[in-house]
Amino acid sequence: MKNCFSMALRYENGQISLLDQTLLPREERWLLVNNPTEMVAHIQRLAVRGAPLIGVAAALSLAHYAGKGASKQECHVALESLRESRPTAVNLMHAMDRMRPALEAANFASLLEEKAMEIFQEDVQLCERMAERVASHIQSGDTILTHCNTGGLATAGVGTALGGIRRAFEQGKKIHVYVDETRPLMQGARLTAWELEKLGIPYTLICDNMAASLFQAKKIQKVFVGADRIAANGDSANKIGTYGVAVLAKFHQVPFYIVAPETTCDPKCASAAEIPIEERNAAEVRGTNSPQNAPVWNPAFDITPRALITKILLDSGER
């Protein structure tokens, strides 16, 4: 397989490695991933995360496994367990469904490799197209709010919403980004702030519960966020807290944009009612500040109904 690199995923000399996103920003540690069982565990603990990147990482992991001599039957089992490793981001299912037909052929290892490379390169291109589109919606002087992390850490390319913000900055537009810290796992505080810092883009970190005051003070001109799955009617699942931001944006008449590649759209889900929402471990919410056994509800995503979305910005167009 040819080598390929992104900000958080490398395929190099027959080895896959991941930048362990659970350790950022304190430590930049790359982990070798030896087989799909390890990849499933890294996807589930969010060492690799972001809807597009988990699809790409799963595809590379499967191709790598076949290249190391796994049988067709072993690859089938691995494909299904990678596909089920996280339930909401549909990019993962789409990537695995695109890999599956290769398992019918005698030369399945080389076909899986070709397909995985195609999925990687395609994601880079999709990000480029989204970046141009998002940047065209940003004017110099804009103050932007974003939630979670949608940059180079979450895709094989420059990112979705954050990729567009970056593009606008590179075009010379004077912008300022407010970053929701994104409880409970702090993808905004740990990852988006880390990316913005590296890029030199001016930003301010806020706790999630400070966003309302910012809107009230008319400090936000536009909101750009990503998505994990977009239903046929435009209802969009994204990181928990996105819905609250959308409600605020609607109340304060601030444009609210979802940014995603076509690979995030799920025509099989008619509406939000059919999107499965991942529920995660109670320990992520409890932290050190609550009673040790406090009952917890920890959904990883929420749904923003289409009516609250000004526009869905896709690589292929706007809805």
Beta-carbon count within 10 A of 167 CB = 22
Site string for ligand MRU, 214-253 (x = CB under 6 A): ------------xxx---------xx--------------
Total of chain residues touching ligand MRU, rule CB under 6 A: 19
Residue 89 near ligand MRU by CB under 6 A: yes
Tell me the C-alpha distance between 288 and 283, whole Å: 9
- Asked if residue 187 binds ligand MRU (CB under 6 A), the reply is yes
315: annotated active-site residue: no
Q: By beta-carbon distance, which residue lies closest to ligand MRU?
A: 226
Binding ligand MRU (rule: CB under 6 A), the pick from 300, 309, 313, 314 is: 300
Q: Is 51 in the site for ligand MRU (CB under 6 A)?
A: yes
- What is the torsional sign of CA 212, 152, 164, 233? negative
Strand partners, 258: 225, 312
**Which position among 36, 52, 157, 188 is part of the footprint of ligand MRU (CB under 6 A)?**
52
Q: What is the DSSP string of 91-142?
A: HHHHHHHHHGGGGGSTTHHHHHHHHHHHHHHHHHHHHHHHHHHHHHT--TT-
DSSP state of 33: E
Provide, rounded to whole angstroms, the least separation between the CB of residue 160 and ligand MRU.
4
- Beta-bridge partner residues of 299: 279
Which residue has 């537009």 as its token pair?
173
Instruction: Kindly state whether residue 154 participates in binding ligand MRU, applying the rule CB under 6 A.
Output: yes
Give the C-alpha separation, 114 to 172, whole Å: 38
What SS3 state is found at 266?
A: strand
List 266's β-bridge partners, or say none.
Answer: 231
Among 100-108, 155-163, 169-177, 249-257, the segment contacting ligand MRU (CB under 6 A): 155-163
The nearer residue to ligand MRU, 52 or 87, going by C-beta atoms, is 52
**Least distance to ligand MRU from the beta carbon of 312, Å?**
13
- Please say which residue, 75 or 92, places its beta carbon nearer to ligand MRU: 92
Q: How far is the CB of 46 from ligand MRU (least distance, A)?
A: 6
Q: Are 56 and 8 in contact (CB under 8 A)?
A: no
DSSP state of 189: I
Catalytic residue among 20, 180, 208, 228: 228
In residues, how long is the chain?
319
Which tokens is 69 given?
A: 């001599």
Q: Is 164 in the site for ligand MRU (CB under 6 A)?
A: no
Binding-residue pattern over the window 132 to 151 for ligand MRU, x denoting contact by CB under 6 A: ----------------x-x-
Which residues bind to ligand MRU, rule: CB under 6 A? 46, 49-52, 89, 148, 150, 154-155, 159-160, 187, 226-228, 238-239, 300
Question: Catalytic positions, please?
Answer: 228
